Amino acid sequence: MNGAALRPSVFNVFVDALFDDCTIAFNTCSGAFRALDGDDFDALTKGLDGMSVNKALVENLHQDGFLVDKNLDEYTHIQDKYATSYAQTDGLALTIAPTVDCNFGCSYCFQEHTNDRMSQQDQTGLIRYVEQNLKPNTSLSITWFGGEPLTAFSIVEDLSQALTKLAKDRNCLLNQAIISNGYLLNEKRITTLATLENLTLVQITLDGPADIHDKRRTTKGKNLPTFSRILDNVAKAASRLSITLRINVDKTNIGGLEALVDEIIARGLKNKVGLYLGHTLPYTEVCGNMDQTAFSREEFASVDAGFKLYLVQMGFQNVVSLPRPQSSSLCIADHPQGRVISPHGAVFRCWNETALAANEAVAHLDENGALAGSDNDRAKIWDGFNPFSHDPCKTCTVMPLCKGGCPWEAIKNSKNEPGHCTHLRWTLPDILRLYHLETTVRTSLKKIENAHMDYPCA
């Protein structure tokens, strides 16, 4: 390897570790992570001359993406990789809403719920669509969504059984997930979900401890308290299902995070369920008036980083994942074979659209499995989606980690504005420090008792 032909990548990020007198190096394009001693750090940041005697180190840093060919246009390279990967993406990614009805009436919900459910004709059309479009030796990814999918659980069971058989017959990798409020997750449903093939995630939402949660997430009509029942269900299911708790936060409930963590610990769920914060936003006009209560992106990033630090301090494990660059599609909205399928054969591109009227669908699915596209404004917007259309993103160091961020939010901004910035735009240094801490000294939490970070969780 000729060191003179290389230069440091523009996507290198360097931060001081919390301990051990080393420098953390991370490349947002390759995802490579290293803890560098003083000599290696100086050589990488001050020039390659000092590294010429260590050809092995130069080669390793080049393979990891910390060093790149001197004439490489890294931003164009990322766009080319995305385009190539997108064109080669096979398999189906489906979000299936067997109903858009819900048993909850949360004030901030982005959907307008109706009692529509998939008819037998809808289900037949969906199965035939997969029969006609699932290529052998690819993949089938299914997310069960709603509304509340457990209110139409028999449809989930029937469709899952049929689609699982199709995936097996075609030697396709199958992955299933379900998004639920958890209120209807009784023993029978837990047992059934545990038998579903490759159900890798059950996501359940909480909004804080009981006194906060029960004011925000109530049942329709009777306004019954829901927190205790949900957490009881989670406790019963935790040993049989892979459960992640999404904790929605805004300015009105942020003070309840520590009490909620205490309750999770008291229930014996520490390190048995995953935890992460959800950013409550006014996604659609159906949401309640949240302009004064929602955190900004930057504010939420600070809260999120502080919450992760708190969990590490409390002894939770696997709190921080190493940020990964997006290789191709960002989510189902820009997946080449991504479809959100609602009752009556309405097909959308984003979860946020599941409860829209049929005339706003980007396509319609008939009982024979045929997909007919629409020419409405929504379809045209998605057809023209480009994750690299925002000028500020083209020179952003963390761009490989988000590629413009959530497409639903990004398309609302002009080309002169950023897309929908990942939280890492503001908190990447501290996330890297916490990851280094977790992976290096899991048994030495005393090292962070006095660690200072600028992101308090309350």
Residue 306, preceding bond cis, omega within 30 degrees? no
The predicted model gives 442-458 an average pLDDT of 50
Contact of 365 with 133, CB cutoff 8 Å: no
Q: Note the Cα 419 to chain centre separation in Å.
A: 16
Q: What would the two tokens of residue 54 be?
A: 């260590």
Confidence of residue 218 (pLDDT cuts 50, 70, 90): confident
* 18 within 8 A of 437, measured Cβ to Cβ: yes
Asked if 281 and 294 touch (Cβ cutoff 8 Å), the reply is yes
Residue 208 CB-half CA count within 13 A: 20
Distance CA 338, CA 349 (A): 7
Joined tokens for residue 417: 């504005």
- Provide the CB-side half-sphere exposure for 161 (13 A, CA): 7
173-180 and 199-206 strand pairing: parallel
Q: What is the DSSP letter of 339?
A: E
pLDDT cut 90: percent of the chain above it? 64
1-10, 26-35, 86-95, 356-365: which is most confident: 26-35
In the chain, what's the furthest Cα-to-Cα distance?
Answer: 74
What digits encode the pLDDT tens for the residues 221-251?
777 889 999 999 999 999 999 999 999 999 9
pLDDT tens track for 126-184: 999 999 999 999 999 999 998 899 999 999 999 999 999 999 999 999 999 999 999 99
Q: What percent of the chain has pLDDT over 70?
A: 88
Say which amino acid occupies 298.
Answer: E
In the prediction, which pLDDT does 287 show? 44
Local structure of residue 11 (DSSP, 8 states): T
Chain centroid to CA 395: 23
Please write down the long-range contacts of 292-299, taking CB distance under 8 Å and 24 or more positions apart: 292/251, 293/250, 293/251, 293/252, 294/250, 294/251, 295/249, 295/250, 295/251, 297/420, 297/421, 297/423, 297/425, 297/426, 298/426
Residue 265: which residues within 8 A CB-CB, separation 6 or more?
314
Name the strands in the sheet holding 12-16, side by side, starting at the edge strand that comes first in the sequence.
12-16, 23-27, 33-36
Q: Residue 393: phi, psi to the nearest 5?
A: -70, -25
Q: Above 70 in pLDDT, residue 2?
A: no
Block residue for tokens 């990004």: 410
In terms of average pLDDT, the best of 33-42, 84-93, 212-221 is 84-93
Q: Which residue has the higher pLDDT, 6 or 107?
A: 6
Dig out the tokens for 152 from the structure: 């139409």
Residue, of 111 and 244, whose pLDDT is higher: 244
> And the tokens for 382?
């998605």
**Are 64 and 58 a contacting pair, CB within 8 Å?**
no
Reduce the DSSP state of residue 428 to 3 states and report it.
Answer: helix
Q: Is the pLDDT of residue 430 over 80?
A: yes
As separate numbers, helices (DSSP H) first and strands (DSSP E) second, the chain gives: 14, 15
What's residue 324's pLDDT?
Answer: 92
Q: Which of 338, 340, 326, 357 is nearest to 422 (CA)?
A: 326
- pLDDT for position 455: 44
pLDDT at 329: 82
* 278 φψ region: left (φ > 0), alpha (ψ -120 to 50), beta (else): beta
Which residues, 6+ apart, have CB-to-CB distance to 394 below 8 Å? 75, 388
Cα–Cα distance, 202 to 139 (Å, whole number): 20
Percentages (nearest 5) of helix, strand, coil residues in the chain: 40, 15, 45
Strand partners, 204: 180, 245
